[in-house]
Every structure is written in C-alpha cells, then in structure tokens.
C-alpha cells in the first residue's frame, strides 16, 4: 500500500478528481500482481459506509461486508466489475448500477465507475472504484416511466384515436385505437413520419400541422377518410392542439381523431328509413298525420286533404282543429316521458265532422305513439267510414225489424196452435160421439170415412203439438240442472214404447253434467221416435258419446232402411218427410225441431247414412260442468 500512497502523492491531480467525483466515497482494491500476491485488503473511504449509515468495519472484513451490502438481485452485475468476481471483466468497464443496503434496511441506488491503476516498476494493479448516489435520479426515472406507462394505459383505453407528434411531423406516441386502425402495432408506428404511415393523406396532415404551429389556433372537427394497410376506410373527425414540451423548446402536436364510421352509417340508415317512412306515409291509402305534444301537425299526407276537401295555403296551413273536434284533442296528446311511451296503448274512436263543402262524414281514427328524434309523437290514421256506418245502421235497423218479425211469428205460432187445440178437441169428441151413436145399419164406407176423419184430427193434433214445441224453442226458460244420461236415456227410450224386439244400446258410462234438461230430452225423444217409427224391424238403437275440448258429440244409430244422400239435408227442413200420402205417419217437424234446438245452443246436427244400411244421427251439445271426461266407450244393452 506504500507504493499506492507514493503513487497518489505523485498523482495529486488524480486524487483530487476522485474526491470530487466520489459523492458516496471511493475504494481501492488490489488486483493480482505478477508475483500472485492479492492478500492485501481493499482500502475504502469512510464515506462509502457512513453514507449508508454503517460503521466502518475492520480492514480485514471490509471486502466481505461490502459484498453483503449489495442487493442479492444485483450481485451478478456487481461481480462483473474488475476484481470482484471470478469472471471479472478486464479493462475499464462502463459504469454499473446496483443497490446497497442502508442501515435502516432500505436500499440506495449507487452507480460505480472506475479504472485500473498500474504502478510502474512493480507492476502492481489496483481497481479504483468511484461511487455516486443516483438513488433520487433513478427513482425519479422509474416514477416517470411508471407515469408514462399509466398515461399510455389511459390512452389505450380511450376509443378515440390519439397521436402525439413533434414539429418535424414525427409520431412520438400513439394509442392502441389509432394503431389498430392502421393495421400496425404502436412500436411499428412510433418514430415514423406521418407521411410514412398515411401516404395518401400525409401531405395534407402536415399542412394542417404547420398551420397549427404558426399559432392560428386549434384545428377542430376536420372530416377525413383514413385507410389502413388492409384497404379498410375509416370516417374520422380530426382535432389538433399545440402542446409545449416538458424537456425542450420544441412544441408537440396532439391529434385526436373520432371514428364516426358507424355514426355516419347509422345516419345514412336513418335517412334511408326516414325517406321510406315519408314515402309510405304519403302513399298510405289512409289519411295520416303526425302530431307533436303541442298539437301541431308535423306531417300530413295528401289523402287527408282529399278526404276533407282542404286547400291549405302557406299563410293558413292545415291545423288539428280542421280535422278533429276539440273535445278529442286530449286523446291525441303523446306521452311526455319514455316510461309512459312504453306503457301507452293504441286508441281508436269515431266522430262526425264536416268536409270543406259542408257535408257530414263519419271518421274512424286510430292513434299510435311513436318516437322520432327522441321526441314522442302521435301517429293518427283517418278512415272515412261514412258509407260503412250508413250500411251498418241500415243493417241494425233491419236486424231489429227482423227480430220483431220473428217474435211476432213465434207469438202467432204459439197463440194459433194453442187456440186451435180447443176446437180440434171438440171435433175429436164429436167424432167419438157420432161413432158411439151410429146405428148398425150405417154402411161400412161411412165408418171408414169417420175413421179417416179421426186420423186426420189426430195428425192435426200432432202437428199443433210440434208447432207449440217449435214456438217454445226460442222461449226456452229451462233452468240448468243436473242430468245423468246413464238413467235418463233408458227412461226416455222406455217412455217411447218401442217394439219388444228393439233394445237400447249405450256405453257403460255416459256423461253427467249440468245443462237445460228439457231441450236435451226433447232431442233424444225425437231421435228415438224417428228410429222406432222408421226402423221398427231394427233390433237395436245405439247411442254413443265422445268428448271434445268444448262440446259433446252424441250419435243415435239404427239399422233401418237408411236415407238417400240427396235427402239428407232436406229431412231437417220444416214439414219435410220421406213419406207421402197415406204412408205419411209424421208431421215432418221432429228432425227440424232437433236441428233448431241444437242451433239455439250454438251447435249443429246432421245425418250420415248408406242406403239400406241404417242411419246415424249426430248432434253436438255444449260441454260445461261434466263429471266424466272420456273418449268413445264400448256399448252395452239396457
């Protein structure tokens, strides 16, 4: 070390340079000499340890203590310094930065620079390490980098395009949205000229940059079309602002671009829809107007003017009062808020008004609330129903007249048939008395004429009974009661006095439900009577029942002679029968009564038959409070 002191004394200028540069101290560490002696400990200035808040260790321990103060993550870089590691670099390495532990456990960034010193004759070599405190500078740099990254993160989350350029039009920073629009990465863009990134628009962009830098104020909302390297176009609005630089006198240019591609497409679509709406509005066969919240007509089609025979002028345009009486204006007021708009329902009403020529017409008006440019409006459509209303009133009048006529006919049939029965009973009694008092010598021909008279009286009595039944159809006041067809049908069939050989066959279970008993039993009596009368040789009359969602479907089938297809509709007419003359045994009212009774219930009756193979009479009946719901069941004989 004596040789070192001699060296420093002879190189005093170097010594003072070391003291001036070493803000955190310096040290001298012997390197291997020619004789291989490296046992001398390094020489540390007191400031090396005191600047960290440590006591200066003993000379023999300084090397190990110093290595322990180096941050574990930085020891690899530290060992690259000459003489500290096995792989120490030779020569004068560039300054290296590493962290040293303070006395309080925190770490300080230190930058070490140095040089090799070789003593002349003895060829002894030392490493002179000069230490600088760069902790504040590096931490400020880290904070700046973190701030830079935070700003970049914020810029990358902004959907608008952001560029920062210098005065030479070089792009210094770009956010992710702007980079994605070019089809390049931010690293590929930053550092390049504007004309390199946007060849087509570069010269125009640079001209506006120069205008901005000349102090003419910011450039605002300039429309531009950008194209990326894939050929895709972007519609933009460009804003430019001048920014002062924080580090030099050069100005910076902040460019903000708003992508209006979708907005422009939306505007075009809205304009197209508006054109379509106006075309449909004008070509509508109905009169249409658009009314705002102040009852002003915003739109009116030509059909309205033709309907009302109006001739508006610029000084006197068509107003709502010209179309709709004032008492209905409140119904045409659109809702004031969006919530009410969602709840509003279409309304319809009718009113009478006058045309321009003074004639009266009737209008049907339908309203719907719509939203146009964030404003609620009422779309009202007008239909001239003058003729339709007149026809409806005529029909209503004729319907009332027809109902009165039908009531008169029903009343006449009821009164006539009821009043005719009394003299008819008198005629029957007279024929019976004549027959009782007739002397034996009266000839057979007279007796046969008397029997024919009694038969005609009986037939007339049957006809009057059927007329009474028919007249009562529309006068039904039967209370709804419980009907169990399992017991009611056998009793009705037995009441009709069928031939001993004829049996009633029906399912094991028939419906039980609440209904008007009288009309239903009348239908079954008439159908049973029809089978007994026309199919006396049949061995059975079969009744079946099926259910649907809202009705019962009943069938009464016999094995009689059947009904020709040409007569299957006619037999349900009034006074219609397949028999004639002396063979006529009925009045022709039975099946007509069946049809009429089911029609009153809103149902229907019909027949199906193959000639000479019997007939199946079908009718439906409303289903209400049924106990049993069943499909078609097997029949049994009762």
Q: Give the CATH number of the domain where residue 450 resides.
A: 1.10.287.130
CA–CA distance, 300 with 243 (Å, rounded to integer): 54
Domain assignment present for 275: no
Domain assignment present for 280: no
Say yes or no: 401 and 364 in one domain. no
CA–CA distance, 527 with 521 (Å, rounded to integer): 10
Task: Tell me the torsion sign for CA atoms 443, 444, 449, 454.
Answer: positive
Quickly list DSSP for 217-260: --EEEEEEEEE-TTS-EEEEEEEEEEEE-SSSS-EEEEEEEEE-
Q: Give the CATH number of the domain where residue 363 resides.
A: 3.30.450.20
Domain assignment present for 270: no
Residue 107 pLDDT? 93
Domain assignment present for 269: no
133, 166, 187: which is the final residue of a domain? 133
Say yes or no: 578 and 621 in one domain. yes
Say yes or no: 374 and 360 in one domain. yes
Say yes or no: 153 and 126 in one domain. no
Residues of the chain with pLDDT under 70: 1-21, 32-39, 81-93, 119-123, 228-229, 245-249, 337-345, 409, 413-414, 416-418, 421, 459, 462-478, 536, 574-588, 611-612, 625-638
Task: Tell me the torsion sign for CA atoms 511, 513, 517, 520.
Answer: negative
Domain assignment present for 407: yes
433, 453, 471: which is the final residue of a domain? 471
Q: Are 519 and 629 in contact (CB under 8 A)?
A: no
Residue 93 pLDDT? 63
Do β-strands 251-259 and 233-244 pair in parallel, antiparallel, or remain unpaired? antiparallel
Domain assignment present for 271: no
pLDDT digits (tens, 9 = 90+) for 276-314: 888 888 888 889 999 998 899 989 998 998 999 988 888
pTM of structure: 0.38
Domain assignment present for 282: no
CA–CA distance, 457 with 516 (Å, rounded to integer): 32
Residue 629 pLDDT? 41
Say yes or no: 516 and 631 in one domain. yes
Q: Give the CATH number of the domain where residue 490 resides.
A: 3.30.565.10
Residue 222 pLDDT? 84
Measured CA angle at 622 (ends 618, 625), to 5 deg: 130
Residue 17 pLDDT? 56
133, 165, 195: which is the final residue of a domain? 133
Domain assignment present for 181: yes
Say yes or no: 377 and 394 in one domain. no
DSSP assignment letter at 566: G
Say yes or no: 538 and 633 in one domain. yes
Helix, strand or coil for residue 456? helix
Number of domains in the chain: 5
Describe the chain by its helix, strand, coil percentages, rounded to 5: 40, 25, 30
Residue that is written with structure tokens 């045994």 in the block: 585
Residue 363 pLDDT? 94
SS (H, E, C) 260-329: CHHHHHHHHHHHHHHHHHHHHHHHCCCEEEEECCCCCEEEECHHHHHHHCCCCCCCCCCCHHHHCCHHHH
Say yes or no: 605 and 483 in one domain. yes
Say yes or no: 485 and 626 in one domain. yes
pLDDT digits (tens, 9 = 90+) for 449-497: 787 787 777 767 766 666 666 666 665 556 788 999 999 999 989 888 8
Q: Which domain holds residue 398?
A: 389-471
pLDDT digits (tens, 9 = 90+) for 157-194: 888 888 888 888 899 888 888 888 888 888 888 999 98
Say yes or no: 430 and 502 in one domain. no
Say yes or no: 175 and 39 in one domain. no
Say yes or no: 455 and 569 in one domain. no
Q: How many C-beta neighbours within 10 Å does residue 209 have?
A: 21
């Amino acid at each position: 070390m004596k040789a070192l002191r001699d060296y420093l004394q002879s190189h005093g200028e170097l010594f003072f340079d070391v003291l001036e540069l070493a803000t955190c101290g310096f040290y001298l560490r012997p390197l291997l000499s020619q004789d291989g002696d490296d046992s001398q400990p390094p020489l540390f200035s007191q400031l090396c340890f005191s600047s960290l808040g440590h006591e200066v260790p003993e000379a023999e321990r300084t090397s190990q203590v110093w290595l322990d103060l180096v941050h574990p993550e930085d020891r690899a870089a530290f060992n690259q310094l000459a003489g500290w590691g096995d792989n120490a670099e030779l020569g004068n390495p560039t300054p290296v930065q590493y962290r040293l532990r303070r006395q309080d456990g925190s770490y300080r960034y230190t930058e070490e620079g140095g040089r090799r010193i070789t003593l002349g004759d003895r060829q002894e070599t030392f490493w002179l390490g000069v230490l600088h405190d760069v902790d504040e500078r590096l931490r400020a740099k880290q904070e700046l980098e973190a701030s830079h990254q935070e700003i970049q993160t914020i810029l990358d989350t902004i959907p608008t395009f952001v560029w920062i350029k210098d005065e030479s039009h070089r792009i210094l920073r770009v956010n992710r949205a702007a980079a994605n629009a070019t089809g390049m990465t931010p690293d590929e863009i930053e550092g390049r000229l504007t004309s390199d990134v946007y060849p087509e628009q570069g010269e125009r962009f640079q001209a506006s940059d120069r205008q901005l830098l000349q102090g003419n104020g910011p450039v605002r909302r300039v429309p531009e079309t950008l194209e990326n390297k894939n050929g895709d176009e972007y519609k933009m609005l460009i804003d430019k602002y001048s920014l002062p630089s924080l580090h030099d006198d050069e100005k910076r240019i902040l460019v903000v671009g708003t992508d209006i591609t979708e907005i422009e497409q939306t505007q075009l679509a809205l304009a197209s829809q508006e054109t379509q709406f106006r075309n449909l509005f004008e070509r509508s066969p109905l009169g249409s107007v658009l009314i705002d919240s102040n009852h002003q007509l915003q739109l009116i089609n030509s059909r309205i003017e033709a309907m009302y025979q109006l001739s508006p002028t610029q000084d006197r345009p068509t107003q709502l009062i010209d179309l709709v009486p004032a008492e209905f204006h409140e119904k045409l007021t659109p809702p004031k808020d969006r919530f009410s708009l969602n709840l509003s329902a279409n309304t319809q009403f009718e009113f009478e008004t006058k045309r321009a020529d003074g004639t009266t017409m009737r209008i049907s008006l339908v309203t719907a609330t719509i939203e146009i440019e964030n404003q609620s409006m009422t779309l009202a459509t007008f239909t001239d129903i003058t003729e339709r209303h007149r026809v409806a009133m005529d029909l209503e009048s004729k319907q009332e007249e027809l109902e009165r006529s039908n009531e008169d006919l029903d009343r006449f049939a009821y009164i006539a048939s009821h009043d005719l029965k009394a003299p008819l009973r008198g005629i029957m009694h007279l024929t019976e008395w004549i027959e009782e008092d007739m002397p034996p010598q009266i000839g057979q021909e007279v007796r046969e004429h008397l029997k024919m008279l009694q038969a005609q009286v009986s037939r007339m009595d049957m006809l009057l009974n059927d007329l009474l039944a028919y007249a009562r159809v529309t006068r039904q006041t039967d209370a709804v009661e419980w009907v169990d067809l399992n017991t009611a049908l056998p009793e009705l069939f037995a009441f009709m006095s069928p031939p001993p050989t004829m049996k009633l066959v029906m399912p094991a279970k028939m419906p039980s439900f609440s209904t008007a008993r009288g009309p239903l039993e009348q239908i079954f009596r008439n159908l049973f009577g029809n089978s007994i009368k026309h199919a006396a040789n049949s061995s059975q009359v079969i009744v079946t029942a099926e259910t649907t969602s809202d009705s019962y479907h009943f069938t009464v089938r016999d094995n009689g002679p059947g009904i020709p297809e040409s007569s299957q509709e006619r037999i349900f007419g009034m006074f219609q029968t397949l028999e004639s003359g002396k063979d006529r045994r009925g009045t022709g009212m039975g099946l007509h009564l069946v049809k009429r009774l089911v029609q009153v219930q809103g149902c229907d009756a019909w027949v199906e038959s193959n000639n000479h193979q019997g007939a199946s009479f079908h009718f439906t009946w409303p289903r209400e409070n049924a106990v049993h719901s069943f499909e078609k069941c097997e029949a049994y004989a009762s």
